[in-house]
Amino acid sequence: MPVKIHADLPACSTLEQENVFVITENRAQTQDIRPLKVAIVNLMPTKETTETQLLRLLSNTPLQIEISLIRMENHNYKNTDQEYLDKFYLPSSQVFNKKFDGMIITGAPVEQIPFEEVDYWKELCQIMDYAKKNVFSTLYVCWGSFAGLYHHYNIPKYPIDKKLFGIFMNSRTTLNDPLLRGLDDTFPFPQSRHTTLMEDDIIRHPELTILAKSKECGVTLVKSNDNREIFMTGHLEYDTDTLAKEYWRDKDKGLPIDIPKNYFPNNNPSLMPSSYWRSTAHLLYSNWLNYYVYQETPFNFTEK
């Protein structure tokens, strides 16, 4: 089944060219079903790219999904025109008038800044608090996961000496959790971050379960035991060339950046990389939507 989005959203034409099934609002109104309502709190500066990446993954299920894009009201966006934001995004204050089956809170390029110094931190905390009761399951991605763990459980982030950058294999730490159903015992995660978590900090919270970790990356996947919160430190949504673009962007700026690990063939940046995390990404997002959102959410949960 399709993902329901605004007909003019740039991601719509991109996904249609890829034969991804999307549906516009007018057509969706003719279908007599209740779609899952999913909000995406998009904190990434590359709005269009992130929208397309996430919508591609959310569309790969037999469910109809109605998407609401959310922006921070108290933040000056430098990379996205206000006209674009006004057309496609709801201001954060409008979130509090709705309920959602699922929510995704993305990463953001602010991880080296203390949480309280991020200009929209209080605004984001309001959303995270609201989600506890008004969103059935929230998926926190990369910096979003660090923010969620810090806000809800006071689990700090720790700076690392060198940017964790590349594709890293992860091992499941539990056998039967539905989120990992169908995944191999080890699976790849793209990573691009300057901070990490300490396992001992998470273990102190019996209401949390570690689902996956990596020798090089530490803990990478955590959930609350009620399945209402999922914390993922990596970027499974990344396109094949995303890390390459990050690498060359920083090189062109003269910034210190290592070649992303386990990414370019023969570790040669002049060669085209290939994705070997795409199937993991589609399966994990489908599992989240199916087992943690669709199968568990009461039918009238989103009614106000």
Report the catalytic residues. 142, 235, 237
Residue of 173, 248, 180 whose CA lies nearest to 213: 173
Tokens at residue 201, please? 């900090």
Three-state DSSP class for residue 9:
coil
- Tell the residue number behind the tokens 């091992």, with chain if given: 171
Instruction: Please give the Cα distance from 237 to 77 (Å, whole number).
Output: 22
Instruction: Please give the Cα distance from 157 to 197 (Å, whole number).
Output: 5
Residue 214: burial class (beta carbons within 10 Å; 0-12, 13-18, 19+): buried
Instruction: Please give the Cα distance from 246 to 256 (Å, whole number).
Output: 12
Whether residue 38 contacts residue 103, with contact meaning beta carbons closer than 8 Å, is answered with: yes
Whether residue 35 contacts residue 61, with contact meaning beta carbons closer than 8 Å, is answered with: no
Instruction: Please give the Cα distance from 171 to 161 (Å, whole number).
Output: 24
Tokens at residue 41, please? 């709190």
